[in-house]
Chains A and B, each alone.
Chain A
Amino acid sequence: MDHKVKYEKDELRGRFTRFMEVVVRNARNNYLKKLSRQLPIVPLEDVPEEEYAREDMPLIEKPDAFTFEEERLAKAFSQLPLMRQRILTLLFVNELTPAEIAKQMNCSVQHVYNQRSLALKRLRQLLREEGADV
């Protein structure tokens, strides 16, 4: 009888230890996820232009990285913020994936998609303003 009671109580401790292991593991995983989300993502507007136009950064290595068929497109492209020019170059010239760009630029993949979308939208707008039909 005593043995049965003891067994039941030890079973409680074992069950609680397993519960604790799950809770602790989940807490650690949440903490690591939280850390990975804390990458320094600075809004483009807050970054001084000279900061991301440094020569040691692989921005647009050559002015002729794009072979433009149309002068208007080149002009519109040059009017984009440097960071968006860089993202478009990495996407369409260097043919990197958004994930690779995000890793290189230390930002989220969603940020790359957003910047690409905004850059293309702005390009269309600039070309329309000049009378081109894109």
Chain B
Amino acid sequence: MTPGEFRELLIRAVSGDHAAVEEILLLYLPLINRYSVIDGRPDEDCRQYILIHIALNIGKFII
């Protein structure tokens, strides 16, 4: 993804476009998965909690 494409995607995600948010989440999945590990094992509840938290807070990012 080029910087221009990323910027466009981010603008859409921040303005509340669900498809764009989903794409951003996919892009940052490795980071999300890394933080979803509890006691050495991936915790699906934690992952879901993080995903919801991102979806609720992505609009706060100032471009």
Contacts and interface: CB of A to CB of B under 8 A. Distances in A.
Interface stretch (A14-22, A69-77, A83-91, A124-132): A14-22
B53 A26 contact: yes
Contacts of B7: 9, 12
Contacts of B10: 12, 16
Given A9-B3, A10-B3, A16-B10, A27 B50 contact: yes
**Dominant SS among interface residues on chain A:** helix
Interface size classification for chain A: 20 to 34
B28 to A, nearest CB: 5
Given A12-B6, A31-B49, A24 B54 contact: yes
Q: For the side of the interface on B, what is the size category?
A: 20 to 34
Q: Is the interface of B mostly helix, strand, loop or mixed?
A: helix
B61 A24 contact: no
Interface in B3-43: 3-4, 6-7, 10, 28, 31-32, 35-36, 38
Contacts of A6: 3
Interface of A: 6, 9-10, 12-13, 16-17, 19-21, 23-28, 30-32, 34
Nearest to B37: A28
Contact of B63 (A12, A20, A25, A31): A12
Given A9-B6, A10-B3, A12-B10, 10 more contacts: A9-B7, A12-B3, A12-B63, A13-B3, A16-B10, A17-B28, A20-B31, A20-B54, A25-B35, A32-B38
Nearest to B10: A16
Contacts of B49: 27-28, 30-31, 34
